[in-house]
Amino acid sequence: MKSKIKSFLILIITLLIGIAIGFEISEIDIKKHFEAMDSFKKPEGFIKIFEGIIKPDPNQKEVVDSILFKYYEKMERIRHSGMEEITNMMDSMNVELKKNLNNEQISRLSEEMQRMKKNPPQPLPPTGKKP
């Protein structure tokens, strides 16, 4: 093989390896971000995040943890009741819309509503940034 072709192949292979490594690093970073979001939805993760911010001393830890847990439970109740309210509102919207749609549109809307009920969007944890 000519040296130009060898050089070109080495360059292409190096480029492809670089792209593959970039995708892997990106995937790892995205996975870590989603794990952090998921941990916020659990009491242990919620408490751990705020303990990391507050850094309570050993004398404060028990009291701080109990306060954090109390507010975690309150926020979970709000989140669940909010999702129920959104579901009820979407159902009302669906009923009102169907009165003004043709069969094909009703079918598409119904399919999408079913998909949305099976896979509801999850609220994101606060970013710490003020709006």
Answer whether residue 86 shows pLDDT above 60. Answer: yes
Quote the tokens at residue 80.
Answer: 């669940």
- Contact residues for 90 (Cβ-Cβ < 8 A; gap 6+): 113, 116
Q: Among the ranges 2-6, 14-18, 49-53, 75-79, which has the highest mean pLDDT value?
A: 14-18
106: which 2 tokens? Answer: 């009703």
Q: Does the pLDDT at position 130 exceed 80?
A: no
> Per-residue confidence at 43, pLDDT binned at 50, 70, 90?
confident
* Domain ranges (residues) in the chain: 1-40, 56-121
How far is residue 120's CA from residue 28's CA, in Å, rounded to a whole number? 24
Phi-psi region of 42 (alpha: psi -120 to 50; beta: other; left: phi over 0): beta
Q: What is the pLDDT of residues 57-84, one digit of tens each?
A: 999 989 999 998 998 888 888 888 877 8
